[in-house]
């Protein structure tokens, strides 16, 4: 039993939470599409990216710590 590789519970929980954050994901994808042709490199989608992962993290947090040893 000690030789078994531990399963990453956060990844499993994130997969369950991602459908709850579709609005933020769509916003990020729309931003990426908008700036695809930007040659200057000044435009970015950092805010939308963090909004999406913040949503996922808020969903995961209450369940994650009960699953950790």
CA proximity to 47, closest of 62, 68, 66, 32: 32
In a domain, 4, yes or no: no
pLDDT per residue over 20-68, tens digit each? 999 999 999 999 999 998 888 788 999 999 999 999 999 999 998 887 7
Structure tokens at 37: 């042709």
Number of domains in the chain: 1
CB 68 within 8 A of CB 14: no
What is the CATH number for 40? Answer: 1.10.287.20
Distance in angstroms (rounded) separating the CA atoms of residues 69 and 56 = 22
pTM of structure: 0.81
Q: Note the residue count of the chain.
A: 69
Q: Distance between CA 12 and CA 8 in Å, rounded?
A: 7
Residues spanned by the domain of 46: 9-67
Inside any domain, residue 2 = no
pLDDT: which is higher, 8 or 49: 49
């Amino acid at each position: 039993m000690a030789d078994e590789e531990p399963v990453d519970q956060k990844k499993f929980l994130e997969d369950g939470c991602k459908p709850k954050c579709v609005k933020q994901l769509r916003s990020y994808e729309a931003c990426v599409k908008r700036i695809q042709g930007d040659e200057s490199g000044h435009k970015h989608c950092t805010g939308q990216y963090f909004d999406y992962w913040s949503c996922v993290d808020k969903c995961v947090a209450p369940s994650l710590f009960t699953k950790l040893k």
